[in-house]
Structure 1
Amino acid sequence: MRGRSCSGDELFSFVRLEERVPADHPLRVIRALADEVLAGLSSSFSGLYAHTGRPSIPPEMLLRATLLQALYSVRSERLLMEQINYNLLFRWFVGLSMDAAVWHPTGFTHNRDRLLQADVARAFLQGLLALKQVKRLLSSEHFSVDGTLIDAWCSMKSFVPKDKGDEPPAPPPGRNAERDFRGETRSNETHASTTDPDARLYRKSQGQPARLCYTGHVLMENRNGLVVDSMLTHATGTAERDATLTMLDRRTSRQRITLGADKAYDVTEFVGELRARKVTPHIAVNGTVYKTGKRRKTAIDGRTTRHPGYEISLRCRKRIEEIFGWAKASAGLTKFKVKGLDRTTAIFSFFTAAYNLVRLPKLLAQQPT
């Protein structure tokens, strides 16, 4: 018998939101892990909010919604609120009931940014790594480090002299300002962005264009390629090495470890700092040949390269590019959509935690029960 299309709305629904989500959906494992971490942070959340006044958006819901934004490449908070409004899977993950109203995008953004600026993002990452089922997946001896450039949320037209001496004339009504940079010498010492003063003009290598950006740093363990620490700094020539030392100093254990890295870290002073911290530098040799025909002197000698573990570390360290690739291609972090070093640091740290959550369901399924 042919069924008839019925477009009428039902007044009541007798199906729970929980039943709409398949039992084997990967978000179930991710939400269980996130809820366990958030439960451990509950006491910290209490100290961030006043005890009187109108209730705000629950911090647990703010962080779950931000996770969805990274997991599903939602490009804006306005679109995220739209998705949560009609997407039952998103409602279930955030914790909203079928009849609950969705927040205004501006209110959500302000509450989320205030929460993440309180170092909650890094606490979430550390809480995730401290879970019993996650901790046994981590290596305690072998690590890798690398950095990547992430564009700031500002235009090159906003990079103007700090003294405002040659500020361009006002554009005609209805048009953007036009700038001719030809023949103009610009540097971070004399110029700054009016949109995001924390952004720095930086060029990755010869032949590459200079752009306003930040540098994101990740410390990865080599067993399963999970992020164990992350940082965001100004884009400078020494940012990668300085951030690495900071992340190593934040480790609670002081046992000897190995650290894999690319040839940009092959600097004598940096290698000396690593050895002083009981870190064996498994760094790729920078064998640049100068115009004179001489090869650059490397800081990595036979004490390190003669061991078979050195070659293993060089192979494992390439997996750190998967973290940056996921963050930029899948999570949409090719360009920050917030301004200022504090907020961009929080977003970067939280997105690296989201990468771990993406990897963990499959890794945990492979573990013996």
Structure 2
Amino acid sequence: MSRRHIGQEKFGFSVDRGQHCSLDELARLIDWVPVDHCLYVISCSAKGEPAWPPIALFKAMLLSIWYDLSDVKLAEALDDRQSFRRFCGFSTQETTPERTAFVRFRKALVAHGLDKTLFDEITGQLKAKAIHVKTGTLVDATIIASASQDDEEGHWVKHKGRPAVHGFKAHVGADADTALVEEIAVTPANINDGKAGPDALPDNPGEVFADSAYCGNHFGDAVRAKGGTPRIVATGMWGKDEAEALARLDAWNQPIHRIRGRIEKIFGTWKRSYGLRRMRWRGLAKAGVQIRLTAIAYNMKRSLNIIAMAG
């Protein structure tokens, strides 16, 4: 397949003015060679044109999440901002992709089912840098509104006291200490948390902290099968009287609430800072791409902070 060669300055005039930013640190955080290898099957060129390197388009997708940019705004920013060009591997003078290249790239990710492969590769690298001793896992789910209520692969769901939402649900397993996202399952919004929860469990999860939606043997057995210990919020306990039962219930639930509440910060960052308040594209497969790309972007930023604090 024919591909463009990028990153070469014209006439050899490459000047480093020492203007570096956090994107340069993020670029150094990952070994991009195996990521590029995962993307090797992709060629999403316009008819009759050489394809843009898929690794450059993938990095551009991360920029769109960190800075909450549409395809149009991403194309404009990539053309204009030197830090964006540097992160993606473009020189200061060469042309950069138009928005249609990003559309074709996403379609190719869906067609080849590469979003989970990319998530696993990058998360594996980050875990090796940031997670030293695995002690526990946070499991929870968040609902994300669909791009359109006409999306037949989304579904309506209503929680008590809240308006009904049409969309999808991200089921997430995250490390209890570092808050790095380790596993993701994406479903229509009406799928029960406990039913989909096993798909959000990483291997060797340690103690698994979850709310009462995960009560029941289906989830608990899945945790134990992976070598973990369920720590699920209880809705009732026995006691010789009501006061004793409530005291025992509170003693069991309070430590779980305190730990599992950390996952809400992950969802808050996704929705508040990374534009995941609503899906950008229609369909379950594209919802999976958007959620996993968001998780990759989040994990990279989170790992950079963890490593900086440890240093």
- Give the direction of change, closer, same or farther, for the CA distance of 1:57–1:115 in structure 2 (3 Å limit): farther
User: In the TM superposition, what is the alpha-carbon distance from 1:81 to its structure 2 partner?
Assistant: 0.5
Q: Which 5+ residue runs of structure 1 have no aligned equivalent?
A: 1-11, 156-192, 289-293
State the alpha-carbon separation in 2 of the partners of residues 311 and 139 from structure 1.
24
1:229 aligns with 2:183: yes
User: In the TM superposition, what is the alpha-carbon distance from 1:276 to its structure 2 partner?
Assistant: 4.7
AA aligned opposite 2:233: A
State the alpha-carbon separation in 1 of the partners of residues 172 and 197 from structure 2.
8
Show the 5 A alignment for 1:86-235.
86-131=80-125, 134-155=128-149, 193=150, 196-203=151-158, 205-235=159-189
Q: Which residue of 1 aligns with 2:17?
A: 19
Contact 1:327 1:333 in 2 (8 A): yes
1:56 aligns with 2:51: yes
Contact 1:225 1:320 in 2 (8 A): yes
- Give the direction of change, closer, same or farther, for the CA distance of 1:138–1:113 in structure 2 (3 Å limit): farther
User: In the TM superposition, what is the alpha-carbon distance from 1:133 to its structure 2 partner?
Assistant: 7.3
1:82 aligns with 2:76: yes
* CA displacement, residues 290-340 of structure 1 (integer Å, 9 cap, x when unaligned): xxxx9xx9xxx99xx77xxx8655422211111111110100110011111
Contact 1:232 1:344 in 2 (8 A): yes
State the alpha-carbon separation in 1 of the partners of residues 51 and 82 from structure 2.
23
Q: Which residue of 2 aligns with 1:364?
A: 307
State the alpha-carbon separation in 2 of the partners of residues 337 and 256 from structure 1.
32
Q: How many residues align?
A: 291
Q: Which residue of 1 aligns with 2:200?
A: 247
- Give the direction of change, closer, same or farther, for the CA distance of 1:359–1:277 in structure 2 (3 Å limit): closer
SS in 1 for 2:177: coil
* CA displacement, residues 138-185 of structure 1 (integer Å, 9 cap, x when unaligned): 543310111000000104xxxxxxxxxxxxxxxxxxxxxxxxxxxxxx
Q: Which 5+ residue runs of structure 2 have no aligned equivalent?
A: 1-10
Q: Comparing both structures, which one devotes a greater share of its residues to helix?
A: 2
State the alpha-carbon separation in 2 of the partners of residues 133 and 197 from structure 1.
36
State the alpha-carbon separation in 1 of the partners of residues 208 and 144 from structure 2.
23
State the alpha-carbon separation in 2 of the partners of residues 15 and 351 from structure 1.
33
Taking only aligned residues, the RMSD between alpha carbons, in angstroms, comes to: 3.1
Q: Which residue of 2 aligns with 1:186?
A: none
- Give the direction of change, closer, same or farther, for the CA distance of 1:133–1:334 in structure 2 (3 Å limit): closer
AA aligned opposite 1:283: I
| TM-score, with structure 1 as normaliser | 0.70
Contact 1:266 1:286 in 2 (8 A): no
Q: Which residue of 2 aligns with 1:73?
A: 68
Contact 1:220 1:228 in 2 (8 A): yes
State the alpha-carbon separation in 2 of the partners of residues 219 and 342 from structure 1.
19
Contact 1:117 1:342 in 2 (8 A): no
| TM-score, with structure 2 as normaliser | 0.82
